């Protein structure tokens, strides 16, 4: 993305954040899904540097969450919980959309650490805020799937099954991959 190097703030006046950095964030998630962890790690480091340098705090908190996502899927990420906590600190100052995304990341990070009660708390917050504010609902099936996994690991098999069924039904209804 040479545009990112030329003018990382292009479009920021329209959106309130850099759409180029936001697109880079989305591309990073795609790279992780494709298993291109090394490339995703390099791009994440670079995108975080650019976001920090240009005070793009919305995107920076999304990038911190992308780092946790990368760790979950097998990337070489040290301290995913620290990345999630930095994202929470940023999101608390920004907006509810970012708060939902980083609560999901915090839930993933606690799960990676085996702290299932904390994972449940963060993921329940993500789902509740998304539903209450009617934001990020495209990811609701994904949040519910992660929540079901945390219930499973916490030993609540009934809620795990119910949550997984709800996630699947909602994803099918919305034609959303989970």
Asked if 109 contacts 68 with a C-beta cutoff of 8 angstroms, the reply is yes
- Distance, CA of 119 to CA of 149 (rounded, Å): 10
pLDDT at 76: 73
Q: Which residues of the chain have pLDDT under 50?
A: 1
pLDDT at 11: 84
Residues in the chain: 178
Asked if 44 contacts 66 with a C-beta cutoff of 8 angstroms, the reply is yes
Q: Where are the domains of the chain?
A: 1-77, 80-178
pLDDT at 178: 55
Q: pLDDT tens-digit profile of 79-115?
A: 899 999 999 999 988 888 999 999 999 999 999 999 9
Tokens of 56: 């793009």
What CATH topology corresponds to 80-178? 1.25.40
For the chain, state the CA radius of gyration: 16
Asked if 27 contacts 36 with a C-beta cutoff of 8 angstroms, the reply is no
Tokens of 54: 């240009």
pLDDT at 4: 57
């Amino acid at each position: 993305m040479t545009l990112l190097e030329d003018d990382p703030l292009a479009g920021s006046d329209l959106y309130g954040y850099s759409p180029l950095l936001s697109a880079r964030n989305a591309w990073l998630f795609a790279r992780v899904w494709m298993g291109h962890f090394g490339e995703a790690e390099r791009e994440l480091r670079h995108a975080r540097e650019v976001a920090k340098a240009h005070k793009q705090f919305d995107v920076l908190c999304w990038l911190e969450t992308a780092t946790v996502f990368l760790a979950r899927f097998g990337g070489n990420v040290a301290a995913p919980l620290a990345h999630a906590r930095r994202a929470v600190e940023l999101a608390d100052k920004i907006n509810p959309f970012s708060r939902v995304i980083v609560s999901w990341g915090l839930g993933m990070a606690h799960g990676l650490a085996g702290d299932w009660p904390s994972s449940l708390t963060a993921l329940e917050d993500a789902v509740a805020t998304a539903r209450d504010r009617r934001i990020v609902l495209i990811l609701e099936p994904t949040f519910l799937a992660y929540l079901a996994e945390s219930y499973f690991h916490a030993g609540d098999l009934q809620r795990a099954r119910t949550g997984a069924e709800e996630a699947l039904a909602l994803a099918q209804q919305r034609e959303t991959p989970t």
